C-alpha cells in the first residue's frame, strides 16, 4: 500500500519539477520569475492558469520564485531571495520573502501594445519593493519592444520627480524603511508609487523557436549594493539570452551591470492541459441495451455476489442494495478508485444496466465516503441507453437526473464487508521542505509504516510510524521567540533523536446526525505536535454552494520524542467556518475562532480548482497577536498546491499530493492539522461541488 503511494507521489512530484507543458509560446520569464526581459518586467501575461517556478542567481542575490496566472490578466508571485553580504563585504547575508501582483490593463492589438501594472514586493520586507507601469509591442514576428515607468527600486537610476505629486504631496517622497521594519516584514509596504520614478525598457529578438536574445536598460541602480561596495555597477545596460531546452523548461544567462554573470532556469506547467501519458485505466463496460420486450426478461438477473464482484473490478465497494424485479434499484457504494465521484457513478450505472432485470427502469445511486452517504442521485436506465455514445451525453444525463440528500438505511440490504479490516504498508517517504526559515530547500526522507483497522465503514483507526534517515542532531532545549506558547516554532525539536516516532495515531468516527448534516470525531495523536480530541459538524445541502462548519478541539502538546507522552501545555481551540464554491472554479473559506497558541482571529483562503483535480490557492491569518510579537513575517500566510496523481500517471487514482509554500511557520495563527476534515469529503459528492463540476467524466 505505502510503496504504491510513494511511487505515485514521486512520479507526480517529478513530473511537476520537470515542468511538463503543452503550450508552445514566445513568453519568457526574467530573473525575478515574472514575464519580462532580464532584470525588469514586460507587459506580457502567461496563459491562464500557468504555473512557473524560477531559480536564478548572481553573486549578490539568489532568487526562488513561484508564479501563478490566477486569471487571464491577473497573476501573483511568491519569492524567496537570499541576499549575500547584505550590509557590505564580509557581513552576513539574509533571506527575504516577498509577494508580487500584476494586472494586464490592455491587450495587444494592431495599434495598442500590451500594458500592465505591477507591485513588486508589495507584501514583504520591502527590500525588493518596486511598482511599475509597462508596455510591450511586437514590431515584427521576431522583435518585441518594451518600455516602462518604475518606482521604488525601479526608480533609482536617473529618476525624476513623480508627476503624481501634483495630485497629492504624499507621492513626492518615499521614506526609507528602518532595519526593524525590514526584519519584521510581511506587511504592506505602504509606499506604492511614491518617490522618484524612472524609465526602463528593452528589446527581445527571437533568433529561433528555441533561442531569444535580450537587451535592457534597467532603472534599478542597486543603490544599497553599490554604496556598500558589494556591487561594481558599471552600466545600466544588461544583456542576456533565453534558451528553451524543451517545452516547459527555459534556461537564462545574462551579464548584469557590466560586471556580474547571472543564470536562471524556469519550469512551467499548465494544470488545464494534461500531458498525453500512457496508463492502465480499465475501459468502462458498455451500457447493455434491453430487449424490446422487457417483461420477457424478468428472469434475467444477478446475485448479490456477482454484483459485488463486478463493482469490485472497478474499485467500487458495494455497501447495500434494494434491488427489486419491478422498476427501481437502489444501490449504496464506496468509490475507492476514481478521483471523480461522477466517473465512479457512471461505472456503477453501466454495471447495473448489465446485471439487473430489464424491467428495472430507475436507478437510485448513493455514493459514500468515510462510511457516510454523500447524496442520492436518481436516473433513468432508458437515458443511459439513449445518450451513452452522444457528444452531449453527460450533459443530458445531468439534466435528466435528480440529486438530493441521501436517505437512511431503511430498506437496504447491507452487504457483508469482505475487504480486509486490517491494512498495513511499509515504504519509503520523501518530503521536500521549501522556504523554511533560513533554509530555502530541505529534504526529509526515511521509512513510513502505515496501519489501518476498520471497526466499521465509518469508524477506523489509522496510524503512521516514521523513521527518518536524515542526520539531524537532537536539540537540548527550546528557544522562545515571543510570549506565545511555541506550538509551531518548536517543530524543529520533534523526532530528532534518531528513533522511530508516532507521526499520528487516531480513532475517527464519521456520522450523519440529520438531514444535510455531517459529523466527525477524531481522538488520539492527531498530528506531529499535538494530540487530544477534535470534533466537527458540517451543514451542506447537496445543491448549495454555501456550507457552514463548526470545529471544537481540546489538545495537549506532545513530547519531543513523539511517542506517547505530553508536555504540560493544553488548549481549547476551534473555529466557525464558512465555505462558498463559485461557479468559475474558485473556492473561498473563512475560519473564525481560537488558535493553538490561544490567540483569536480569522483565516481567509481563496483557491482555484480545476476539474482535473489541480488546486492552487493562497491564505492568510490575522489574529490578536501584534505583528512585532508574531515575529518575522508579521502574520501567517502562504500558498498551497494540490496535485492529483492521475494527472501525470494516466491511471485512475484518488491519491494526491499537497505542498505548502509558507513564508514562515510561526506560533500565531497556528491551527490544528487534523486529518479528514469534512468539507472536502462531502463536496466530492455534491452537485454544487466536485461531483457537479466533474460530471463530464460520467461516461469516462
- How does pLDDT run across 316-326, given as a tens digit for each residue? 999 999 977 67
Is the CB of residue 225 less than 8 Å from the CB of residue 233?
yes
Lowest mean pLDDT across 11-15, 202-206, 281-285, 606-610: 11-15
Cell 471497526 locates to 455
Please give the average per-residue pLDDT across 653-669, as a whole number: 81
Indicate whether 455 pLDDT > 70: yes
Q: Which residues pair with 103 in a beta bridge?
A: 74, 117
Q: What is the pLDDT of residues 478-491, one digit of tens each?
A: 454 567 889 988 88
E strands, 247-309, in order: 249-256, 260-269
Q: How confident is the model at residue 92 (pLDDT cuts 50, 70, 90)?
A: confident
Q: SS3 of 162, please?
A: coil
Lowest mean pLDDT across 158-162, 493-497, 505-509: 493-497
Q: How far is CA 533 from the centre of its chain?
A: 27
Q: What is the pLDDT of residues 672-700, one digit of tens each?
A: 999 999 999 999 999 888 888 889 889 98
Sign of the C-alpha dihedral, residues 147, 148, 149, 151?
negative
> How would you classify the pairing of strands 328-335 and 362-369?
parallel
Percent of the chain with pLDDT over 70: 87
Cβ within 8 Å of residue 322, ≥6 positions away: 328, 329, 330, 411, 412, 413
Indicate whether 183 pLDDT > 70: no
Give the pLDDT score at 24.
40
Question: Who has greater pLDDT, 381 or 275?
Answer: 381
Is the CB of residue 694 less than 8 Å from the CB of residue 611?
yes
Provide φ and ψ at 148, rounded to 5°.
-155, 165
Separation between Cα atoms, residue 240 and residue 52, nearest integer Å:
20
Q: How confident is the model at residue 47 (pLDDT cuts 50, 70, 90)?
A: very high
Helix residue ranges, H only, 19-160: none
> How would you classify the pairing of strands 237-246 and 249-256?
antiparallel
Indicate whether 130 pLDDT > 70: yes
> How would you classify the pairing of strands 130-138 and 114-120?
antiparallel
Is the CB of residue 530 less than 8 Å from the CB of residue 596?
yes
Q: What is the pLDDT of residues 571-616, one digit of tens each?
A: 999 999 999 999 888 999 999 999 999 999 999 999 999 888 889 9
Is the CB of residue 75 less than 8 Å from the CB of residue 81?
no
Cell 436518481 locates to 378
Indicate whether 14 pLDDT > 50: no
Indicate whether 288 pLDDT > 90: no
Separation between Cα atoms, residue 494 and residue 485, nearest integer Å:
15
Helix residue ranges, H only, 275-338: 304-313
Longest dimension (CA), the chain: 94
Separation between Cα atoms, residue 531 and residue 559, nearest integer Å:
10
Please give the average per-residue pLDDT across 442-469, as a whole number: 91
Give the pLDDT score at 21.
43
Give the pLDDT score at 446.
87
Question: Who has greater pLDDT, 433 or 217?
Answer: 217
Question: Who has greater pLDDT, 297 or 448?
Answer: 448
Nearest to 311 by CA among 290, 279, 329, 285: 285
Q: Which residues pair with 593 in a beta bridge?
A: 575, 601
Indicate whether 538 pLDDT > 90: yes
Lowest mean pLDDT across 315-324, 368-377, 630-639, 667-676: 630-639
Q: What is the mean pLDDT of the chain?
A: 86
Instruction: Classify residue 624 as exposed, middle or buried by CB count within 10 Å of its CB (0-12, 13-18, 19+).
Output: exposed
Q: Which three cell numbers stand for residue 265?
A: 532556469
Indicate whether 2 pLDDT > 70: no
Give the pLDDT score at 290.
83
Question: Who has greater pLDDT, 26 or 271?
Answer: 271
Q: Which three cell numbers stand for residue 134?
A: 509597462
Lowest mean pLDDT across 242-251, 351-360, 457-466, 662-671: 662-671
Separation between Cα atoms, residue 375 and residue 383, nearest integer Å:
20
Indicate whether 120 pLDDT > 80: yes
Give the pLDDT score at 5.
38
> Please, what are the domains in the chain?
21-269 (2.40.160.40), 294-417 (3.30.300), 434-456+458-686 (no CATH)
Amino acid at each position: 500500500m505505502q510503496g504504491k503511494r510513494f511511487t505515485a507521489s514521486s512520479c507526480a512530484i517529478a513530473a511537476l519539477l520537470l515542468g511538463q507543458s503543452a503550450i508552445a509560446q514566445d513568453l519568457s520569464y526574467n530573473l525575478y520569475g515574472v514575464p519580462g526581459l532580464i532584470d525588469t518586467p514586460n507587459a506580457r501575461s502567461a496563459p491562464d492558469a500557468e504555473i512557473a517556478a524560477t531559480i536564478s542567481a548572481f553573486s549578490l542575490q539568489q532568487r526562488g520564485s513561484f508564479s501563478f496566472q490566477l486569471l487571464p490578466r491577473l497573476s501573483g508571485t511568491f519569492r524567496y531571495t537570499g541576499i549575500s553580504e547584505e550590509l557590505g563585504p564580509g557581513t552576513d547575508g539574509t533571506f527575504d520573502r516577498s509577494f508580487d501582483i500584476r494586472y494586464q490593463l490592455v491587450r495587444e492589438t494592431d495599434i495598442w501594445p500590451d500594458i500592465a501594472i505591477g507591485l513588486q514586493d508589495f507584501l514583504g520586507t520591502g527590500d525588493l519593493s518596486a511598482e511599475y507601469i509597462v508596455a510591450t509591442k511586437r514590431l515584427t514576428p521576431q522583435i518585441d519592444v518594451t518600455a516602462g515607468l518604475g518606482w521604488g527600486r525601479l526608480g533609482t537610476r536617473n529618476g525624476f520627480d513623480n508627476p503624481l505629486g501634483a495630485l497629492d504631496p504624499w507621492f513626492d517622497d518615499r521614506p526609507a524603511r528602518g532595519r526593524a521594519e525590514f526584519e519584521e516584514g510581511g506587511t504592506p509596504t505602504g509606499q506604492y508609487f511614491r518617490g522618484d520614478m524612472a524609465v526602463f525598457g528593452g528589446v527581445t529578438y527571437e533568433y529561433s523557436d528555441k533561442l531569444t536574445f535580450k537587451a535592457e536598460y534597467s532603472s534599478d541602480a542597486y543603490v544599497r549594493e553599490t554604496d556598500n561596495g558589494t556591487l561594481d555597477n558599471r552600466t545600466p545596460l544588461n544583456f542576456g539570452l533565453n534558451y528553451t531546452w524543451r517545452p516547459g523548461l527555459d534556461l537564462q544567462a545574462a551579464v548584469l551591470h557590466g560586471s556580474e554573470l547571472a543564470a536562471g532556469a524556469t519550469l512551467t506547467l499548465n494544470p488545464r492541459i494534461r500531458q498525453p501519458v500512457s496508463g492502465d485505466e480499465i475501459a468502462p463496460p458498455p451500457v447493455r441495451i434491453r430487449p424490446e420486450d422487457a417483461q420477457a426478461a424478468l428472469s434475467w438477473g444477478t446475485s448479490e455476489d456477482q454484483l459485488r464482484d463486478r463493482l469490485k473490478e472497478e474499485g467500487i465497494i458495494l455497501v447495500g442494495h434494494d434491488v427489486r424485479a419491478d422498476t427501481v434499484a437502489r444501490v449504496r457504494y464506496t468509490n475507492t478508485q476514481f478521483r471523480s465521484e461522477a466517473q465512479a457513478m457512471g461505472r456503477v450505472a453501466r454495471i447495473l444496466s448489465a446485471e439487473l432485470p430489464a424491467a428495472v427502469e430507475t436507478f437510485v445511486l448513493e455514493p459514500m465516503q468515510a462510511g457516510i452517504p454523500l447524496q442520492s442521485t436518481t436516473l433513468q436506465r432508458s437515458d443511459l441507453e439513449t445518450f451513452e455514445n452522444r457528444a452531449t451525453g453527460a450533459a443530458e444525463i445531468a439534466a435528466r437526473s435528480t440529486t438530493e440528500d441521501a436517505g437512511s438505511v431503511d430498506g437496504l440490504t447491507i452487504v457483508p464487508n469482505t475487504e480486509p479490516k486490517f491494512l498495513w504498508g511499509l515504504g519509503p517517504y520523501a518530503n521536500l521542505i521549501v522556504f523554511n526559515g533560513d533554509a530555502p530547500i530541505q529534504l526529509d526522507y526515511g521509512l513510513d509504516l502505515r496501519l489501518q483497522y476498520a471497526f466499521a465503514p465509518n469508524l477506523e483507526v489509522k496510524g503512521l510510524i516514521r523513521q527518518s534517515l536524515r542526520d539531524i542532531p537532537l536539540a537540548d532545549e527550546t528557544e522562545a521567540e515571543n510570549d506565545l506558547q511555541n506550538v509551531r516554532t518548536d517543530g524543529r525539536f520533534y523526532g530528532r533523536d534518531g528513533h522511530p516516532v508516532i507521526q499520528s495515531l487516531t480513532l475517527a468516527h464519521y456520522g450523519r446526525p440529520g438531514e444535510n448534516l455531517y459529523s466527525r470525531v477524531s481522538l488520539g495523536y492527531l498530528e506531529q505536535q499535538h494530540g487530544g480530541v477534535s470534533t466537527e459538524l458540517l451543514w451542506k445541502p447537496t445543491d448549495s454552494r454555501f456550507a457552514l462548519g463548526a470545529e471544537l478541539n481540546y489538545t495537549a502538546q506532545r513530547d519531543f520524542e513523539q511517542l506517547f507522552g505530553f508536555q504540560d501545555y493544553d488548549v481549547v481551540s476551534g473555529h466557525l467556518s464558512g465555505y462558498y464554491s463559485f461557479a468559475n472554479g474558485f473556492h473561498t473559506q473563512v475560519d473564525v475562532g481560537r488558535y493553538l497558541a490561544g490567540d483569536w482571529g480569522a483565516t481567509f483562503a481563496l483557491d482555484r480548482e480545476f476539474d482535473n483535480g489541480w488546486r492552487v490557492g493562497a491564505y492568510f491569518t490575522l489574529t490578536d497577536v501584534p505583528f512585532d510579537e508574531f515575529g518575522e513575517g508579521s502574520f501567517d500566510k502562504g500558498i498551497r498546491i494540490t496535485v492529483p496523481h492521475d494527472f501525470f500517471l494516466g491511471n485512475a487514482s484518488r491519491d494526491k499530493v499537497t505542498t505548502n509554500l509558507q513564508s514562515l511557520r510561526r506560533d500565531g495563527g497556528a491551527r490544528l492539522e487534523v486529518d479528514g476534515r469534512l468539507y472536502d469529503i462531502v463536496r466530492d459528492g455534491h452537485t454544487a461541488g466536485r461531483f457537479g463540476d466533474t460530471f463530464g467524466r460520467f461516461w469516462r
